[in-house]
Amino acid sequence: MNRFPIFLIALIFLSSCGGYNSIDSFYNNHKNDNQVTAIRVPQFMLSMLSEISPEMKALVGNTKDLRFMQFPSATPAKSQYLNTQMNGITGTSFIEVYRKNDELKRNVVSIREKRNSVKEILIYNNNNQSGSFLYFNGDFDPIKVREMAKNEQFTKFGEHIINQFGPNTLGTPTNN
């Protein structure tokens, strides 16, 4: 009896289930939630973000995928749920560059490396009122990433993304 086809089918099935704890699945599962701001910056708009500062120009110039999501986290149960999901995403495949825990509050900067460069950056913040993540995929200088994490430039960058691509800039009326 030839077991190779059964092994191949099982391998395909397992690999299709392996992406559950990923930025793609988290983003797609939560982008339609109530009170969520979700921004996925298209390639042609990345040049606008590079005008924020020389550091951002150096970072954004090598970015292939940039996403930002802000979501409500007003209850301890919701904060714990989001913290657990983000821990599942980073798990063992990311290296934590920075982490600060205060009860259920989180501030985490994680990276995924390949050889001498950083390929993915994930910044997660949760203050028990709201949570957010900022995700970069590209080819980045590890020294610059560490410096930006240390100087909290990624947090400022998330705020700039909302200002650049938020409802006021996209022509959608807002209630002030």
The answer to whether position 5 is within a domain reads: no
Residue 43: the pLDDT is: 79
Residue 140: the pLDDT is: 86
Q: How far is CA 84 from CA 7, 25, 75, in A?
A: 32, 14, 14
Q: Which domain, by its residues, includes 25?
A: 19-165
Residue 18: the pLDDT is: 42
Residue 7: the pLDDT is: 44
Residue 105's identity, in one-letter code, is K
Residue 54: the pLDDT is: 76
The answer to whether position 9 is within a domain reads: no
The answer to whether position 7 is within a domain reads: no
The answer to whether position 51 is within a domain reads: yes
The answer to whether position 33 is within a domain reads: yes
Cα-only R_g, the chain = 18
What stretches in the chain show pLDDT beneath 50? 4-5, 7-20, 169-176
pLDDT in tens, 85-125: 999 998 888 998 888 899 999 988 899 998 888 999 999 99
pTM of the model: 0.75
The answer to whether position 98 is within a domain reads: yes
> How many domains does the structure of the chain reveal?
1
The answer to whether position 144 is within a domain reads: yes
Please give the full DSSP string across 48-105, using - where no structure is assigned: HHTTS-HHHHHHHTTEEEEEEEEEE--SHHHHHHHHHHHHHHHTTTSEEEEEEEETTE
The answer to whether position 29 is within a domain reads: yes
Residue 93: the pLDDT is: 86
Q: CB of 51 within 8 A of CB of 145?
A: no
Q: CB of 121 within 8 A of CB of 154?
A: yes
Residue 173: the pLDDT is: 37
Residue 161: the pLDDT is: 67
